Amino acid sequence: MELEVLSLFLQQGIASGLVTGSIYALLALAIVIVFRTTDVANFAEGEVYMASAYLAFFLIAIVSMPFWIAVPATVFAVLIGASLFQRVVLTQVAAAKGVSVNLVIATLGLSYVLKGIVRATGFGDTPRSFPSVMGEGSVTLGSASLTYLDLTILGAALAIMAVFFWMFNYTKIGRAMRAVGMNRRASQLVGINLGHVQMLVWGLSGAISAVAAILIAPKLLMTADMGVVVTLAFAAAIIGGFTSLPGAVVGGFIIGITENLVGLFVSSRAINVAPFVVIMLVLIFMPQGLFGGKVRVRKV
Amino acid sequence: MLTRRTPLRAAAVAALLSMFAAPALAQEPGLTPTSIKIGLFGPLSGPSMSYGFDVMNAARMYYDKINAEGGIHGRKIELSVQDDRCNANDLVAAVKKLVEQDQVFLLNGASCSAAAVAGKDYVVRSGVPWLMLNASADGALYPPQPNIFGAFSISQRAMGGSIVEFAVKQLNAKKIGYINHDDAYGAWNLEAAQFQAKDNKVDLVVESVNPNISDVTAPLLKLRAANVDVLLIATYARPAQLILKKAYELGFTKPQVLAVNAIANVQQLSENVGSKDAFKNVYIQEVLADKPGSEKLKWVYDMYKTSYPDLASKPDHPQVYMPYGIPSAMAVVKALQDAGPDLTRAKFIEAAKKLNFDSGVMAGPIAFGENERAAQKASIFLKFDGAEMTRVPGAFASRWTYQGQ
């Protein structure tokens, strides 16, 4: 391989990988904030993201709503929807005092409901998209080329991660969320309203999903099965340690870049296998993930 | 030793044999002196309904036309209709009901390949003749089974061979980039694409990707670095559109040809890719005889409007694949005519094997053979600028044939 081609492969592979990784990172962030606060792995995350994209599509492309109304309307609607799911469904499931896996099953149920609704609309039969929030155009960095939308997705992933990192570490509500995640009973004893906190976390997770959908749908296109990308978001979360916000973002970047470099230097057929090889390596050599901290043994 | 009773015994045996022989003809399922019962099935509901709903309507309107003209050898066609939802389990259930409960003479159905392949074993065991609708279903057609006929639109293999033929003969490509999927469909179309490339003495550089791929940078960069003369995109619709977008972003300006299975809706394709500049050098494969809506195919669309005025007034009808139902129904009718008035399933299957006719609807002839169960092997190509389609002269056929692998 010529040096020029090798350089192009590396630069474009890494640049595009960072953008694709941002997509995984945004969805991983939504998964991680729910998990670290409620101990529930949200298997409906992919479908919440998918339904958000179709809601935005409906408002922008069908109703012809202006962007400045459609975007906040989508984010707000999904925030409310996710909060209500926590309040109406998960609270009831938790109150039944069954095993905690019931909560996960409830999220699976939500995923089927959302997919069914989108399919019933008839818009899920062919790939669709809506105009991007960013205009057409690209920038060249060295040999690599990235569109304005690519840069926006990358920036959004980093900004959302920073905002949530700040919120979790430096605000009262963020500390309350962490406290709920650490010990629910103790947090209630110090006056934290468990229901409100969990509802808020689900709502924020929905809002991240909606932002991700609005940014990503014009890039990856929409189908009723677009939520399958969440598998790679879970992979990103696992690599990052599953409870770490910076870990989710770094995990997303690692997967995005690995996919491209494996595709370029090994085989295109190996692209979809690569993230799972990375997970295996991380779990073998760092079972807590890259940012999951040291293994702690607690007396019970 | 002969006795006086021998003639009586012989007569009794003859009578007994004739009792069994006569009903054998009469009991040919789904046949009466005045009717032939055909089991028509496809997706009438569900997420894949658009693949076959209007295809079934097209077949039905053609049968209605034949009935209006007097039927076939004095028999009118009766349809027994089932919904398979393009789902493997539903298709097998539909086929079993049609064969065992409705006692149809033959099956005419399936619009989705994966579901069709699931029905293969039962149909082979039951011996009922089966002519598919628009399913390509290479998995059910190769190795050839005596009673299964299909690919009236085009098989995956013929799609691969035909698109390579276009790249070589029309675009003068010597080095062809080919992106397909790493699944069974991809393997089938690649098999014929490689055969056609070898036959034409050109290079085929292949990148096989997963249907759920989200970043197509790697395969595209590799093909650009390989300096291919043309890019053939034989993926499903979403990956194909991602490839077109990325090719534009990376400044890939060589001709790009979209295979027929990469195009679900051309208008949506244009909207999804976004920039009109991305379509400066794009061709799309089409298996109809001319571009949809052309004068050559006007009779099909006119017949649909006459047969289904309410449906035709709706914005999404006729659906894209509607005309594909005609050649399949034509094949059924022609084989029934060729089998003669003393119809049996065996005679029908023999007649179907010898079919070779121009449907006037598809790009190439509908032709089977002793060892060939895929009907149609040619396609035409349209230059697509993101809004308008312009026909490229000629039809381009795959030369791959089943060699008993």
A·B CB contacts under 8 A:
100
* pLDDT at residue B326 in the model: 97
- Rounded CA gap, B318 and B325, in Å? 12
pLDDT band at residue A204, thresholds of 50, 70 and 90? very high
Question: Is there a contact between B212 and A260 if contact means CB atoms under 8 Å apart?
Answer: no
Q: How many residues does chain B have?
A: 405
B205–A contact, CB cutoff 8 A:
no
Find out whether B345 and B28 touch, Cβ atoms under 8 Å.
Answer: yes
Q: What is the CA radius of gyration of chain A?
A: 20
The one-character DSSP state at A136 is S
Instruction: Flag if B264 and A126 touch (Cβ within 8 Å).
Output: yes
pLDDT at B345: 96
Domains of chain A in start order, with CATH, are 3-122+140-285 (1.10.3470)
Please name the member of A5, A23, A223 whose beta carbon is closest to the beta carbon of B238: A223
Looking at the complex, report in whole angstroms how far the Cα of residue B274 sits from the nearest Cα belonging to chain A.
Answer: 8
Tally Cβ neighbours within 10 Å of residue A248: 34
Contacts of A22 in chain B (CB under 8 A): none
Give dist(CA B214, CA A20) in Å, integer. Answer: 8
CB A233 within 8 A of CB A28: yes
Question: CB–CB of B182 and A119 under 8 A?
Answer: no
Chain B residues close to A20, C-beta within 8 Å: 214-215
β-bridge mates for residue B112, sequence order: none
Per-residue pLDDT at B131: 97
Of A136, A225, A260, the CB nearest to B217: A260
Starting at the earlier edge strand, list the strands of the sheet with B282-286.
B203-209, B175-181, B230-233, B256-258, B282-286, B378-384, B389-397
Please give the DSSP secondary-structure letter assigned to residue A300.
-
> What is the predicted pLDDT for the residue at A300?
55
Q: Do B221 and A132 touch (CB under 8 A)?
A: no
The answer for residues whose C-beta is within 8 angstroms of residue A66's C-beta and 6 or more apart is none
With contacts defined as CB-CB under 8 Å, which chain B residues touch A17?
Answer: 215, 217
Nearest-neighbour CA in chain A from B392: distance (Å): 26
CA dihedral A106, A107, A109, A111 (to 10 degrees): 170
Alpha carbon separation from A159 to A23, A26, A31, A151, B168 (Å, rounded): 13, 10, 17, 12, 50
Average pLDDT over residues A214-242: 91
Report how many helices (DSSP H) and strands (DSSP E) chain B contains, helices first. Answer: 14, 15
User: What is the token pair recorded at B143?
Assistant: 């190795």
Q: How far does B243 lie from chain A, in Å, by closest CA?
A: 10
Beta-strand (E) ranges in B27-151? 31-32, 35-42, 76-83, 106-109, 130-131, 148-149
What is the predicted pLDDT for the residue at A37? 87
Q: How far is A257 from chain B (nearest CA, A)?
A: 10
Q: Work out the mean pLDDT of chain A and round it to a whole number.
A: 90
Do the chains contact at B218 and A125, CB–CB below 8 Å?
no
- Optimal mutation site among B49, B53, B54, B238, interface A, most CBs of chain A within 10 A: B238
CA distances to A61, A111, A220, B51 from A128, rounded to whole Å, are: 10, 20, 10, 17
pLDDT tens readout for residues A114-126: 999 998 887 877 8
User: What residues in B contact A276, CB-CB < 8 Å?
Assistant: none
User: Tell me: the pLDDT tens digits for A242-275?
Assistant: 888 889 999 999 999 999 999 999 999 999 899 9
Pairwise pLDDT comparison (A9 vs B292), residue with the higher score: A9
Tokens of B298: 């006007």
3-state secondary structure B125-188: HHCCCEECCCCCCHHHHCCCCCCEEECCCCCHHHHHHHHHHHHHHCCCCCEEEEEEECCHHHHH
Q: What are phi and psi of B75, to 5 degrees?
A: -105, 135
Q: Is B317 on the interface with A (CB under 8 A)?
A: no
Stretch (H or E) spanning B379 = strand B378-384
Write the DSSP symbol of residue B74.
T
The CB density around residue B311, as the number of other CB atoms within 10 Å, is 17
Does residue B75 sit in helix, strand or coil? Answer: strand
**Is the peptide bond between B309 and the residue preceding it cis, with omega within 30 degrees of 0?**
no
pLDDT at B9: 59
Q: Which residues are paired to B178 by β-bridges?
A: B206, B232
pLDDT at A1 over 80: no
Determine the pLDDT at residue B369.
Answer: 92
Match 């799309």 to its residue by tokens.
Answer: B284
Are A245 and A164 in contact by the 8 Å Cβ rule? The answer is yes
pTM of the complete model? 0.86
Residue with tokens 């789902």: B87
Interface test with chain A among B45, B51, B215, by most A beta carbons within 10 Å: B215
What does the buried/exposed string (b/e) look like for B114-150 if buried means 16 or more CB atoms within 10 Å of the residue's CB?
Answer: bbbbbbbebbeebebbbbbbbbbbbbbbbebeebbbb
Is B222 in contact with A268 (Cβ distance < 8 A)?
yes
> Nearest-CA neighbor of B306 among B62, B70, B73, B138?
B62
Retrieve residue B68's tokens: 């209006």
Cβ within 8 Å, pair A272-B268: no
pLDDT at B20: 46
A268 and B272 within 8 Å at the Cβ level: the answer is no
CA angle B239, B87, B264 (to 5 degrees): 30
Specify the DSSP element, H or E, that contains B193: helix B184-199
A286 has a pLDDT exceeding 80: yes
**What type of residue sits at position B304?**
Y
Write out the two tokens for A95: 């109150």
Q: What domains are there in chain B, each with its CATH number?
A: 31-154+294-374 (3.40.50.2300), 156-286+381-397 (3.40.50.2300)
Which positions ≥6 away from A193 have C-beta within 8 Å? Answer: none
Q: Do A221 and B214 touch (CB under 8 A)?
A: no
Q: Where are the alpha helices (DSSP H) in B236-339?
A: 237-249, 266-273, 298-307, 309-312, 325-339
Q: Is any Cβ of chain A less than 8 angstroms from the Cβ of B320? A: no
Residues on chain B touching A274 (C-beta within 8 angstroms): none
Phi (first) and psi of residue B73, to 5 degrees: 50, 45
Write the CA distances from B255 to A203, A255, B197, B217, B250, integer angstroms. 47, 32, 17, 18, 14
The confidence score (pLDDT) of residue A298 equals 59
**Distance separating alpha carbons of residues A50 and A48, to the nearest angstrom:** 5
Q: Which residues pair with B37 in a beta bridge?
A: B78
- A177-199 tens-digit pLDDT: 989 888 888 998 988 998 899 99
- Residue B105 has a pLDDT of 97
3 state SS of B90: helix
Phi/psi for B285 (5° steps) reads -85, 140
| Per-residue pLDDT in tens (0 to 9) along chain B, 405 residues | 444 555 555 555 554 444 444 444 457 899 999 999 999 999 998 778 888 999 999 999 999 999 999 999 999 999 999 999 999 999 999 999 999 999 999 999 999 988 999 999 999 999 999 999 999 889 999 999 999 999 999 999 999 999 999 999 999 999 999 999 999 999 999 999 999 999 999 999 999 999 989 899 999 999 999 999 999 999 998 999 999 999 999 989 999 999 998 887 788 888 889 888 899 999 999 999 998 889 999 999 999 999 999 999 988 789 888 999 999 999 999 999 999 999 999 999 999 999 999 999 999 999 999 889 999 999 999 999 999 999 999 999 999 999 875
CB contact at 8 A, B318 and B301: yes
Nearest CA in chain B to A220: B214
A4 contact residues in B (CB cutoff 8 A): none
β pairing state of A144-147 and A138-141 = antiparallel
How far A58 CA lies from chain B's nearest CA (Å)?
15
Residue B268: predicted pLDDT = 85
Query: Which of A201, A202, A180, A207 is CA-nearest to residue A191?
Result: A180
**Cβ contact, residue pair B222, A229, below 8 Å:** no
Dihedral, CA atoms, B168, B170, B175, B177, nearest 10 degrees?
-100
- pLDDT of the residue at B17: 47
List the single residue in B with minimal CA-CA distance to A226.
B212
